[in-house]
Amino acid sequence: MPWTQNYSALGGSIALTALVVSIPIFFLLWALAIKRMKGHIAGMLTLLITIVVVVLVYKMPISIALSASLYGILYGIWPISWIVVTSVFLYNLTVEAGQFEVIKGSISSISNDRRIQALLVAFCFGAFLEGAAGFGAPVAITASILIGLGFNPVYAAGICLIANTAPVAFGAIGAPVIAAGAVTGMGDFIISQAIGRQLPFLSIIIPLYLVILMSGWKGAMEVLPAALVAGLTFAVAQWWSSNYLGAYLPDIISSLFSLIVLTFFLRAWKPKNIWRFPHEKGNEQKVVQQKFTAGQVIKAWSPFAILTVIVAIWGTPAFKTWATNAGLVLNIKHWPGLDGLVYKATPIVAKPTVYAAAFKWDWFSAAGTGILIAAIITMFILGVSPSRALGVFVKTVKQLIFAVINIAAVLGFAYLANYSGLSYTLGLLFASTGALFPVLSPVLGWVAVFLTGSDTSANALFGKLQQVTAEQVGVNPVLTVAANSSGGVVGKMISPQSIAVAAAATSLVGRESELLRFTFKHSLILLVAVCIIVTLQAYVVPGMIPTIAAGP
């Protein structure tokens, strides 16, 4: 029997309803940040609590609630966990083949300084992977590399989560912006332009922010030139490409430009002191003694070069269309027990509208499969036999089993929040703030990414709400739709899904609470910065954001 969402189920009050249905979110924060509960246990308990809350508050039929949860759990397994497993498998193969020592040596040949290494790997290379693949691959791969270089696992994961802020809005070949353009009807180009006039301000400061976090203000000043080169080159390229080329390539262009310029800069400039972590005390001036030939370096990095090419191809719309037309995608057009049974209601939509539920098993065109193919090619290049590779894969799965459970539970919660109307209740609460809405519009995106773990999902979730509310309060809707995405990027580092991925990649499963405590305050600080930028663009320099021409 069809069921219609009711966003003010408790006494007709959005505020009261929002307070009660936020219980699972408060529980998850308490469980991770205060109780220090293991991530997979906190995730499963949060999902169970959410099921109880939505059934009691919204009167959602329990069968539909369970179906929505299973729908999200499956999405957590495919494609999210698939990306994590294959990314860590690729990394483990390079370790098995003994090539990671060469990779460490090649990075150290540019600089032994941990601050510089974080800029090169976490910021530049991570942004490239975000643009090419997204959905967990950047943090999983770059955090693994940093640990291999000698970084403390918590720092490696935390730094990569924070570094992943700058590129998220244009990740996975522009998927978040494309989603925003589709749900609002604005098209992705004008939204790309608006985001490209917000995020570059953050992109400039993120590299410096990272090194301050690592080494304090004094230590950061020693590498200020390198941090500014990384941030400014990335920001300029991000602004230019997003405003003149559109949503697809800003991350690819920005990261490569920043990486190349920074590498050449470091040939002419070196920091005064080589900085290491406290546990490396006494090794500050230590340099890599072993030298590697160009052939050895190329061979060691070949897995990541292959990965880059393949995920870039796998991420293009043309490739995905080809895979669909070739019958390499299995579509479940009607998810049982959910599709056609849930209706969105006003004011989210003009009239009751079916909330569809279909599952696409893109077994070949998924990013994780592309990474697996890169790993198989790597296996032959590095001389790892099929039996050894199979052993590495089994070891990887065992290493990640609890992380997969956590990711699945978190996605089950996210999908249940969407289909129950919980996400929309929170969105409407923000929308009720009237003239203050532009100030808080990034917060809405931040909450949405926390709930869903994805800037793409956040834009699909609240993009239309941002547009309609802005029109009602007399603000440029392009600004608030872009703010949804820009605010969302700083929520990525604290989303349970992202933390689960980072924990899995750095062998911190069960210590997710440490990562949340590491990133939470930084997420809030950067969110305030985004709110200030959006407020200024709304009321001080409104001409900075493009507008949609009025119809005839």
- For every residue of 244-305, DSSP letters joined together read HT-SSSHHHHHHHHHHHHHHHHHHH---SS----GGGTT-TT--------HHHHHHHHHHHH
Phi/psi of residue 359, nearest 5 degrees: -120, 130
In a domain, 287, yes or no: no
Q: How confident is the model at residue 498 (pLDDT cuts 50, 70, 90)?
A: confident
Beta carbons of 5 and 422 less than 8 angstroms apart: no
Summarised one tens digit per residue, pLDDT across range 347-368 is 878 889 999 898 888 889 887 8
pLDDT value, residue 134: 61
pLDDT value, residue 95: 80
Strands 342-344, 353-354: parallel, antiparallel or unpaired by DSSP? Answer: antiparallel
Amino acid letter, 45: L
pLDDT value, residue 133: 58
Q: How confident is the model at residue 64 (pLDDT cuts 50, 70, 90)?
A: very high
Summarised one tens digit per residue, pLDDT across range 216-243 is 999 999 999 999 999 999 999 999 989 9
292: burial class by Cβ within 10 Å (0-12, 13-18, 19+)? middle
pLDDT at 532 over 90: yes
Q: How confident is the model at residue 194 (pLDDT cuts 50, 70, 90)?
A: very high
pLDDT at 55 over 90: yes
pLDDT value, residue 288: 44
Taking each helix axis from N to C end, the angle separating 477-489 and 199-222, rounded to the nearest 10 degrees, works out to: 30
Average pLDDT taken over every residue of the chain? 85
In a domain, 177, yes or no: yes
In a domain, 271, yes or no: yes
Distance CA 181, CA 323 (A): 24
pLDDT value, residue 304: 75
Distance CA 492, CA 359 (A): 24
In a domain, 68, yes or no: yes
CB atoms within 10 A of CB 483: 34
pLDDT value, residue 83: 74
Distance CA 263, CA 542 (A): 37
Number of domains in the chain: 1
In a domain, 523, yes or no: no
Distances (CA, A) of 195 to 42, 192, 238, 486: 34, 5, 10, 7
The residue among 340 and 140 whose pLDDT is bigger is 340
pLDDT value, residue 164: 87
The residue among 484 and 452 whose pLDDT is bigger is 484
Strands 3-4, 342-344: parallel, antiparallel or unpaired by DSSP? Answer: parallel
pLDDT at 18 over 70: yes
> Quick one: which H or E segment has residue 505?
helix 496-505
- The helix/strand/coil state of 414 is helix
Residue 540 is classified by DSSP as: T
Summarised one tens digit per residue, pLDDT across range 251-267 is 888 988 998 899 899 98
pLDDT value, residue 508: 80
- The helix/strand/coil state of 331 is strand
Distance CA 54, CA 72 (A): 15
DSSP output for 263-274: HHHHHH---SS-
Of 299, 300, 371, the closest CA to residue 138 belongs to 371
Segment 343-347 shows an average pLDDT of: 90
Of 432, 407, 409, 497, the closest CA to residue 458 belongs to 497
Lowest mean pLDDT among 186-195, 381-390, 532-541: 186-195
Which residues have CB under 8 Å from 85's CB, separation 6+? 368, 396, 397, 400, 404
Summarised one tens digit per residue, pLDDT across range 107-145 is 767 888 899 999 999 998 888 778 765 656 688 778 888
Q: How confident is the model at residue 552 (pLDDT cuts 50, 70, 90)?
A: very low
Beta carbons of 303 and 378 less than 8 angstroms apart: yes
Q: How confident is the model at residue 341 (pLDDT cuts 50, 70, 90)?
A: very high
pLDDT value, residue 33: 66
- Range of the structural domain that residue 389 is part of: 3-280+292-510+532-544
Strands 353-354, 330-332: parallel, antiparallel or unpaired by DSSP? Answer: unpaired
- The helix/strand/coil state of 354 is strand
Of 474, 486, 479, the closest CA to residue 546 belongs to 479
pLDDT value, residue 58: 97
**Exposure string (b/e) for 424-460, b if CB count within 10 Å is 16 or more?**
bbbbbbbbebeeebbbbbbbbbbbbbbbbbbbbbbbb
In a domain, 257, yes or no: yes
The residue among 13 and 461 whose pLDDT is bigger is 13
pLDDT value, residue 119: 93
Segment 457-469 shows an average pLDDT of: 74
- Top mean pLDDT of 24-38, 157-171, 175-189, 302-316 is at 157-171
Summarised one tens digit per residue, pLDDT across range 278-329 is 777 655 444 444 577 888 888 888 887 887 788 778 767 788 889 989 989 8
Q: How confident is the model at residue 550 (pLDDT cuts 50, 70, 90)?
A: very low
Instruction: Find how far residue 341's CA is from the centre of its chain.
Output: 30
pLDDT at 400 over 80: no
- Top mean pLDDT of 330-334, 404-408, 426-430 is at 330-334
- The helix/strand/coil state of 198 is coil
The residue among 106 and 381 whose pLDDT is bigger is 381
pLDDT value, residue 41: 87
pLDDT value, residue 551: 37
Which residues have CB under 8 Å from 410's CB, separation 6+? 43, 46, 47, 76, 453, 495, 496, 497, 500
> To which residue do tokens 């003239």 refer?
435
pLDDT at 531 over 90: yes
pLDDT value, residue 315: 67
Q: What are the helix (H) ranges across 185-223?
A: 188-195, 199-222
In a domain, 518, yes or no: no
In a domain, 525, yes or no: no
Beta carbons of 492 and 530 less than 8 angstroms apart: no
Of 61, 81, 24, the closest CA to residue 411 belongs to 81
